[in-house]
Structure 1
Amino acid sequence: MDMQVWRARLMTGQWFSHLPAPLQNSLLDAGKLRRLPAGQRLFQRGDPPCGLYAVLEGAIRIGTVSEQGKEALLSLVEAPHWFGEICLFDGQPRTHDAFAMGPCTLLHIPQAALLALLDEHPVYWRQLALLMSQKLRLTFINLEQLSLMPAPARLAHRLLLIAEGYGELDPPRRVLQLPQEQLASMLSLSRQTTNQILKDLQGQGILNLKYGEIVILDVGRLRGLASI
Structure 2
Amino acid sequence: MIIKNNNKSYGKLLIDLSYDGGAEQYPESGSVIYSQGDRADSIYFIHDGEIRISTVSAHGKEAVVAILRAGDFFGEGCLAGQEVRIATAAALTDSSIVRVERATIVRVLQENRAAAGAFTSHLLARNIRMEADLIDQLFNSSERRLARLLLLLANFGKEGAPQPIIGEISQETLAEMIGSTRSRVARFMNKFKRLGFISDNGRIEVHNSLLSVVLRDNLHDLAITDEDDAPSPQG
TM-score between the two structures when normalised by the length of structure 2: 0.77
Change (3 A) 1:83 1:158: same
Match of 2:210 in 1: 222
Mark the structure with the bigger radius of gyration: 2
Q: C-alpha displacement at 1:210, in angstroms?
A: 3.9
Q: State, as a whole percentage, how many aligned pairs show the same letter.
A: 23
Residue 36 of structure 1 aligns to a residue whose secondary structure is coil
Q: C-alpha displacement at 1:24, in angstroms?
A: 5.2
Question: Are the counterparts in 2 of residues 15 and 131 from structure 1 also a CA contact under 8 Å?
Answer: no
Match of 1:99 in 2: 90
Q: C-alpha displacement at 1:92, in angstroms?
A: 4.3
Q: C-alpha displacement at 1:57, in angstroms?
A: 3.4
Change (3 A) 1:107 1:64: same
* Structure richer in helix, relative to its length: 1
Whole-angstrom CA distance in 1 between matches of 2:121 and 2:83: 19
Match of 2:163 in 1: 174
Match of 1:8 in 2: none
Please say if 1:116 is aligned against 2:104.
Answer: no
The answer for unaligned runs of 5 or more in structure 2 is 217-235
Q: C-alpha displacement at 1:162, in angstroms?
A: 1.6
Q: C-alpha displacement at 1:15, in angstroms?
A: 4.3
Question: Are the counterparts in 2 of residues 16 and 24 from structure 1 also a CA contact under 8 Å?
Answer: no
Residue 38 of structure 1 aligns to a residue whose secondary structure is coil
Question: Are the counterparts in 2 of residues 154 and 187 from structure 1 also a CA contact under 8 Å?
Answer: yes
Q: C-alpha displacement at 1:155, in angstroms?
A: 0.9
Residue of 184, 200, 209 corresponding to 2:175: 184
Q: C-alpha displacement at 1:18, in angstroms?
A: 4.3
Match of 2:146 in 1: 155
Whole-angstrom CA distance in 2 between matches of 1:201 and 1:59: 25
Whole-angstrom CA distance in 1 between matches of 2:11 and 2:30: 35
Residue of 129, 132, 138 corresponding to 2:129: 138
TM-score between the two structures when normalised by the length of structure 1: 0.79
Whole-angstrom CA distance in 2 between matches of 1:57 and 1:95: 24
Match of 1:28 in 2: 18
Q: How many residues align?
A: 210
Q: C-alpha displacement at 1:50, in angstroms?
A: 3.1
Whole-angstrom CA distance in 2 between matches of 1:50 and 1:43: 11
Provide Cα deviations, 1:131-168, integer angstroms capped at 9, x if missing partner: 11111111111111111111221111111112228x8x
Whole-angstrom CA distance in 2 between matches of 1:185 and 1:20: 31
Residue 188 of structure 2 aligns to a residue whose secondary structure is helix
Residue 10 of structure 2 aligns to a residue whose secondary structure is coil
Residue 160 of structure 2 aligns to a residue whose secondary structure is coil
Q: How do 1:82-97 residues align onto structure 2 when only pairs under 5 Å count?
A: 82-97=73-88
Question: Are the counterparts in 1 of residues 10 and 119 from structure 2 also a CA contact under 8 Å?
Answer: no
Change (3 A) 1:171 1:91: farther
Provide Cα deviations, 1:75-124, integer angstroms capped at 9, x if missing partner: 22233432233332445432211112343321223222111212323564
Provide Cα deviations, 1:29-82, integer angstroms capped at 9, x if missing partner: 223210223333212233333333232333221011234432111122233432
The answer for unaligned runs of 5 or more in structure 1 is 1-12
Q: Which moved more, 1:152-161 or 1:112-121?
A: 112-121
CA RMSD, Structure 1 to Structure 2 (Å): 2.6
